Structure 1
Amino acid sequence: MKFFEPLFRPFAAWLRPLALASLVANVALIVTGAAVRLTDSGLGCPTWPRCTDESYTTTAAMGVHGVIEFGNRLLTFVLVGLAVACFFGALGHKPRRRSLIWLSVAVGFGIPMQGVVGGITVLTHLNPWVVGLHFLLSIALITVAYAFWRRIDEGDGAPAPLVPAPIRALGLLTTLASLSVVAVGVIVTGSGPHSGDRGAKRNGLDPAAISQVHADLVFLLVGLSVALWFALRAVQAPPAAVRAALTLVVVELAQGLIGFVQYFTHLPVILVAAHMLGAGLVWTATLAVLWSLRERPVLSPTAAATTAPAQEPVPAA
């Protein structure tokens, strides 16, 4: 491995910007996916892994829909490139940390898995449940990419709480509510008119009824987030935690406003796209709150030595 260290060193020097770029690109994948669906370009490339039966790239005969769908596929290569760069950076990071390496590997393997699910959506003619899984995989990738980015500046000590246990429980409850809002929002999308292709099936659920469930969960999430913000201020939590909670509330209110406006204006594509971007931002802001409630201290060499397992004595010859 030492032979390759000069190769890894430049990536290690830029590891934090690379990790942030990977996170941003995974959020951007939601937006490009929305563009595919909202322009009815979901079958712009009607097969997979090729774009047509004869070509891996779009053709002039496929028009703008082929360009949009193929452009979304190309973003996968950008994500893979960033994941490889982050992996090299994790290998070159000093001190080398196994946690960073494994997180970079998780991001790297998640991207082709996302591509395969995207291919299945095409092969199943945009089945709404498969399309929903495609979106939820993006949420999972954002989670891992965010963890990788934040772990760069942390130590490898055991997580130490920064707030009392009831506040941490409220933070976990808020996180579960946020994930529920995202998941039900996916189901709402599967019942709505923007299927990605005019001939694609919908999930058969009543859009009004499932939208009401989604709205109820949004109210619950906003209430929990506001309560968490007040609770953090009451216990004089670290300023970073208070700011993270306030940011989450602001992002949720903006996302909720977009959601209500798009519903009552019959889902104009520009607002639907903004709402999908907002879903990624709400989840990222939720992760920021969760991260701010604890810290991982840097282990000193002495502490690391005392926590290492004792070696068996070597018998005398």
Structure 2
Amino acid sequence: MPRVKYLVKSSALRPLALASLIANVALIVTGAAVRLTDSGLGCPTWPKCTDGSYTTTSAMGVHGAIEFGNRMLTFVLAGLAIACFLAALGHPRRKSLVRLSVAAGLGIPMQGVVGGITVLTHLNPWVVGLHFLLSVGVIALAYALWRRAAEGDGAPAATVPAPLRVLGRLTALASLAVIAAGVVVTGSGPHSGDRGAKRNGLDPAAISQVHADLVFLLIGLSVALWFALRAVPAPAAAVRAAGVLILVELGQGLIGFVQYFTHLPVLLVGAHMLGAGLVWTSTLAVLWSLRTRPEAVAEDAPAPAGEPARTAPVPAS
């Protein structure tokens, strides 16, 4: 049977998935730049930038250029998503990769639609928050595609005992809760994306305290997981991933406290937004380190001469 030629080599899937992951984290940063420079309505309508043009004009100044530049990043993300899909097609026996590439790719037009609603609702803080949380979901899918491209298609096999996997999931939930609370804090603060945009009406001090409490919970769970992984002992990759997560959390926490007590300077807020993306990807790395996927083996496949029969791995429940 002749081999099918694909437009993108299958070997390019992993670097393309990594590029997509980085670009989606970068979208958080460029979105922060739009908000922090009051450029949220630099293009006052959607899908056009103005009523008469899809592009910005010199009359719209720097705010129009910043908002339009952020919109253009969507096309970069879409191009990477399409390239990932085409590369995944080069793995005809790994339909899971194709499904992941499609799921991650569908997040891009969804981002565009939610971004458009954000503009049309004049930067409603709840819609802005949804826009950010959608990025968190796309980042998770892009990360999953990147990691799965280097794995087999066998059943997931646990690398640590069940209680540690539960602790890992609790840590991930706490990480997501911290991010969600941070979105609400942002909606109550002064950086709205436009001087005329409304805020969510919540007390910034009270919601910031809730956010800080969740941060302490997350750090506590992460430290407990790190010690537990060392005590088992767990694979070095799992211990390392948990240690990296703690370091990222401490750095992010430091930025958060400094920005709060220095009245939210723009550069620190932007760094904190980048930190949110890094905390989330570090959290995903911990989850991935708690299980592995070997190559799929057919149940009726004979074992090589001189080797015992293969048994199925313990499922990572």
Contact map agreement 1:90 1:96 (CA 8 A) in 2: no
Residue 258 of structure 1 deviates from its aligned partner by 0.3
**RMSD in angstroms over aligned alpha carbons?**
1.7
**2:256 equivalent to 1:248:** no
Query: Following TM superposition, by how much is the alpha carbon of 1:301 offset from its aligned partner in structure 2, in angstroms?
Result: 4.3
* Alignment partner of 1:257 is 2:254: yes
Q: Distance in 2 between matches of 1:214 and 1:304?
A: 53
Q: 1:26 aligns with which of 24, 27, 42?
A: 24
Displacement of 1:217 in angstroms is 0.3
The one-letter code sitting in structure 1 at the alignment partner of 2:236 is: P
Change (3 A) 1:304 1:112: farther
Contact 2:6/2:89 (8 A) holds in 1: no
Cα distance change, pair 99–202 in 1 and its aligned pair in 2 (3 A)? same
Separation (CA, whole Å) in 1 of partners of 2:5 and 2:154 = 28
Return the alpha-carbon distance in structure 1 between the equivalents of residues 222 and 67 of structure 2.
37
Deviation string for 1:132-187 (max 9, x for gaps)?
A: 00000000000000000000011111111110111111101100000000000000
- Tell me which of 281, 297, 303 is aligned to 1:284: 281
- Please tell me whether the aligned partners of residues 24 and 139 of structure 2 are also in contact (alpha carbons under 8 angstroms): yes
| Structure 1 residue aligned with 2:93 | 96
What is the distance in 1 between the residues matched to 2:94 and 2:177?
33
1:13 Cα shift? 2.3
CA contact (8 A) 2:34 2:66 kept: yes
3-state secondary structure, aligned to 1:14: helix
| Residue in structure 2 matched with residue 233 of structure 1 by the alignment | 230
- Aligned residue number for residue 65 of structure 1: 63
Give 1:14 deviation, angstroms.
1.5
Does 154-163 or 116-125 show the bigger shift?
Answer: 154-163
Supply the distance in 2 between the matched residues of 1:285 and 1:73 (Cα, whole angstroms). 27
Q: Deviations over 1:52-96 (max 9, x none)?
A: 000000011100000000000000000000000000100013x53
1:11 deviates by 3.0
Provide Cα deviations, 1:12-65, integer angstroms capped at 9, x if missing partner: 121111110000000000000000000000000000000000000001110000
Aligned counterpart for 2:160 among listed residues 159, 163, 169: 163
Partner of residue 143 from structure 1, selected from 140, 145, 152 = 140
In the alignment, the residues of structure 2 paired with residue 211 and residue 205 of structure 1 have an alpha-carbon distance, to the nearest angstrom, of 10
Q: For residues 64 and 153 of structure 1, what CA distance do their matches in structure 2 show?
A: 42
Aligned partners of 1:59, 1:301: CA distance in 2, in Å?
60
Partner of 1:47: 45
Residue number in structure 2 paired with 1:314? none
Q: Aligned AA for 2:87?
A: G
2:11 to 10, 13, 21: 13
Query: CA offsets per residue over residues 113-135 of structure 1, 9 Å max, x none?
Result: 00100000000000000000000
Q: Deviations 1:170-211 (Å, cap 9, x if unpaired)?
A: 101100000000000000000000000000000000000000
The normalised TM-score by structure 2 is: 0.93
Percent same amino acid among aligned pairs?
79
* Shift in alpha-carbon separation, 1:224–1:303, aligned structure 2, 3 A: farther
> Is the CA contact 1:11–1:86 (under 8 Å) kept in the aligned structure 2?
no
Provide the residue aligned with 2:196 in structure 1: 199
Secondary structure of 1:49 counterpart: coil
By how many angstroms is 1:296 displaced? 1.1
* CA–CA distance in structure 2, aligned partners of residues 187 and 303 of structure 1: 54
- In structure 1, list runs of 5 or more residues that go unmatched: 308-317
| Structure 1 match to 2:74 | 76
**In structure 1, which of residues 33, 36, 39 is the aligned counterpart of residue 34 of structure 2?**
36
Shift of the 303–39 alpha-carbon distance from structure 1 to 2, 3 Å rule, reads: farther
Distance (whole Å) between structure 2 residues aligned to residue 30 and residue 232 of structure 1: 31
Q: How does 1:99-178 map to 2 (within 5 A)?
A: 99-178=96-175
Q: Distance in 2 between matches of 1:196 and 1:66?
A: 12
Structure 2 counterpart of 1:311: none
Contact in 2 for aligned 1:11/1:85 (Cα 8 Å) = no
Q: 1:103 to 1:303 in 2, by over 3 A?
A: farther
Higher helix share: 1
